Amino acid sequence: NAGVMQNPRHLVRRRGQEARLRCSPMKGHSHVYWYRQLPEEGLKFMVYLQKENIIDESGMPKERFSAEFPKEGPSILRIQQVVRGDSAAYFCASRNDREGEAFFGQGTRLTVV
């Protein structure tokens, strides 16, 4: 059973471009979380999704950021018109309904130049 897969591992974008980060949860997991980690800091919750639904997006910036978890395919975190302050590591985690334990992917490290 493959773990949580995130891609790309590294992403470089120029200011003003769009960044799309993908997360494929573990097989059988229908709950996905996105976290952001700034250098030398802890992880900050961004959004919690179940299949086709956003359950809690209280940690998402109101502008430029969006997330989805379609019925088919990976979860996508989209950042429009990126700025230097968006440079961070973005981690995805998934869990199933029964276990409750969250498993993390290896992250996507976004660098905005």
Partner 1 sequence: GNSVTQMEGPVTLSEEAFLTINCTYTATGYPSLFWYVQYPGEGLQLLLKATKADDKGSNKGFEATYRKETTSFHLEKGSVQVSDSAVYFCALAYSSYKLIFGSGTRLLVRP
Q: What letter represents residue 58's amino acid?
A: S
Give me the least distance between CB of 98 and partner 1, in Å please: 10
Task: Please give the residue ranges that form the binding site for partner 1 (CB under 8 A).
Answer: 4, 6, 33, 35, 41-45, 48, 56, 91, 93, 95, 99-107
Query: 37 in the Ramachandran plot: left (φ > 0), alpha (ψ -120 to 50) or beta?
Result: beta
CB 105 within 8 A of CB 7: no
Give me the least distance between CB of 97 and partner 1, in Å please: 10
Give me the least distance between CB of 79 and partner 1, in Å please: 19
